[in-house]
Structure 1
């Protein structure tokens, strides 16, 4: 049998930020409900060195209506999660994903008589 050598990481930090299974499930659940309601039609994900970004589009040729960003470097300060609007304004920032997604989930609520 051979010896397994771990792949070296730069200074103990991962070379790419990503979403874990629970986070991605929560985001894709919201995306599916927004597609079913007719608000969104496309999405994109960017997994970079500093941040993981999920962008949701009304149409494929536009700017994203919302971006959900995960920046672990901001964990101790403002919170690693951010909801960013179409024009680049930060709409909500926090330490947990649920409250950050709340403004988007409110759009799905309908008044029933």
Structure 2
């Protein structure tokens, strides 16, 4: 390998060390987050990027356990779907291949009857 070689690290790229949400996924999640904050439902969030899962956790108050976790698990892409919304009790509320359709389970919280 010379100094002028355009590929400084020849060979296959190593597997990513962590899973993360890409820009469009974050845009979709943060769009929902903003609507829920405006409705007074959510107040804080946290993100975790681990080796096999990326997690966006939503809180009503910062000192609590998360109300919901939005998870991305690429290893499940060809099975149940890599996106999931998980409730506070650990129950999977929705799982699928399309993030927007999975998040619809949370958007129903914005629809309230007029009294």
TM-score computed with the length of structure 2 as normaliser = 0.87
Give ranges in structure 2 of 5+ residues lacking alignment.
none
- Equivalent in the alignment of 2:47: 45
Equivalent residues in 2 for 1:10-89 (5 A)?
10=14, 13-89=15-91
- Distance in 2, matches of 1:20 and 1:111, equals 35
- Distance in 2, matches of 1:49 and 1:67, equals 17
- Equivalent in the alignment of 1:90: 92
1:2 Cα deviation from its structure 2 partner: 4.8
CA RMSD across the alignment: 1.9
- Distance in 2, matches of 1:110 and 1:85, equals 20
- Distance in 1, matches of 2:81 and 2:25, equals 15
Quick check: 1:44–1:54 contact (8 Å CA) kept in 2?
yes
Greater Rg over alpha carbons, structure = 2
Q: Deviations over 1:42-99 (max 9, x none)?
A: 0000011100000000000111000000000000000000100001111111011011
